[in-house]
Amino acid sequence: MFFSCENHRFDRDKRQIMAKDAIENQLHSPRAYDVTGFKEDTIETQSDSNFQKQVRYSLDIEYLDSNNILQKKEGIVMFTPDGQSIINSKITDR
């Protein structure tokens, strides 16, 4: 029973790292990349019949762009219901 809790926590940590890496890869190795906020939730979607419920990770990120200007954005990463694979990811303005 103790191990089941540990495995669940490990899975969440693993997804958080996957989400952070997916967003960082979209930025093409930014300078001073940092995650300043993080949220995980499950959403129901009507648009994708393959995945009725998806796990969404929202990350508040900051980084220096090529002009050395601090950018504050939100990264959104959608996972399959089992949380093992990324469906898509995007970066938006906060």
Higher pLDDT, 46 or 38: 38
Tell me which residue of 5, 42, 35, 36 sits closest to 18, measured CA to CA: 35
pLDDT averaged over the chain?
Answer: 87
pLDDT tens, residue by residue, 58-94? 999 999 998 999 999 999 999 998 889 999 999 999 8
Burial category of 52 from C-beta neighbours within 10 Å (exposed 0-12, middle 13-18, buried 19 and up): exposed
Residue closest to 42 by CA, chosen among 30, 31, 52, 33: 52
12 or 85, which is more confident = 85
The confidence score (pLDDT) of residue 1 equals 45
Residue 2: enclosing H or E segment and its boundaries? helix 2-26
Q: Is residue 5 scored above 60 in pLDDT?
A: no
Number of domains making up the chain: 1
Q: E strands within 45-85?
A: 53-64, 70-79
Chain centroid offset of residue 93 CA: 15
Q: What is the pLDDT of residue 40?
A: 94
What's the domain range around 16? Answer: 2-93
